[in-house]
Copies of this chain bind each other. A is one copy, B any other.
Amino acid sequence: MADQIISYPQLKGFTESVFLAMGCPDADAATAATVLLSADLRGIDSHGVARLSGYVRLWEAGRVNATPSLRIIHETPSTAVVDGDSGLGLVVAPFAMKVAMDKAAAVGTGWVSVQNSNHYGIAGYHAMMALEKDMIGISMTNASPLVAPTFSVERLLGTNPICVAIPAGGEPAFVADLATTTAANGKLEILQRKNLDAPQGWIQDKDGISTVDAHALKTGGALLPLGGDREHGSHKGYALGSIVDIFSAVLSGANYGPWVPPFPAYVPMPTGMPGKGIGHFFGAMRIDAFRPADDFKEHMDNWIRRFRSAKPVEGQEKVLIPGDPEREMEGERMQKGIPLLAPVVKDLEDLAQKFAIKF
């Protein structure tokens, strides 16, 4: 499927140029490019440069402010609410995560809910910021409504991901980055491009009946919460997605549920929106706010090694630790470059032309 391979530095330089052309300050353009490309590096291709033109269209539609004034509008020693001033989520989120980490440095933990933002790339990038400070990082965001709660025909939730990043010692960090649906939208897009059916339990049709039609979302269907159906615990996936929505948006004053602004700029905004922009939620917990960091890391190593060495089911090589596949992919792509599909290359070439920059 890969039609061109571009080195990380080249792709990052280009992406930065696009953000600069949109009017982002230098530091913001660099941050936004780093965050966006962390998705490509980690193999979450749906959330990386494939979306760059989408961000540009939001800016053209006046929905993204390239020079936002990021502000803390409410705070306590361990909490804050950040107003993203309609900035790129790619810039707002690292700012807010930094606030959470500063609070954690001061009082043990920090918790920040964000209003008035836009899509923030992968949840993992922001949570992983905490690792180098010996903190546990938590990141979540709400998103455009594509998911039907259990028993609902209507789409009321986004794929609402949660990432929890936990430092270890000799072992690499534990990084769980998961959409609260059976399958992430990006996986569905791959099936759509290949014109393949989806497994049962991923989607429902416009009447709420489970379907294997990977295109069902275009005709009123919906993604299903993790679990797939009631018998397999979809009410739990629905609850998790709801918690992400409430922490990200009801706590902060952003839009929630069916009112979350859609990512595609051509989709009309919902009516009667109850808040500002989309919402995120971040947490940072200092390890040594609980026990000495070295003790913790020694036990995390023990945890990781015990799980990784568990007897695997026949036909599987080994039991994986959350974050293993993405880290391996990152190592490979940092070295060998990032494979891009032809339509994505075309998209980037169009952007190069639009802004008269070199791709």
Contacts and interface: CB of A to CB of B under 8 A. Distances in A.
A291 B251 contact: yes
Interface size range on A against B: 35 or more
Given A243-B176, A257-B307, A319 B150 contact: yes
A204 B302 CA distance: 26
B231 A199 contact: yes
Contact of A226 (B152, B199, B227, B251): B227
Contacts of A183: 233
B313 A208 contact: yes
A164 B107 contact: no
A178 B74 CA distance: 32
A77 interface: yes
Contacts of A178: 233, 235-236, 239-240
A141 interface: no
A242 interface: yes
A274 B302 contact: yes
A332 B16 CA distance: 61
A284 to B, nearest CB: 11
A108 B228 CA distance: 36
B79 A154 contact: no
B252 A150 contact: no
Contact of A152 (B179, B237, B310): B310
A166 interface: yes
B318 A151 contact: yes
Given A239-B178, A290-B81, A156 B310 contact: yes
A111 interface: yes
A88 interface: no
Interface of A: 74, 76-79, 81, 107-109, 111, 113, 149-154, 156, 164, 166, 174, 176, 178-183, 199, 201-202, 204, 207-209, 226-228, 231-233, 235-240, 242-243, 245-246, 250-253, 256-258, 274-275, 285-287, 289-291, 295-296, 299-300, 302-303, 306-307, 310-314, 316, 318-320, 322
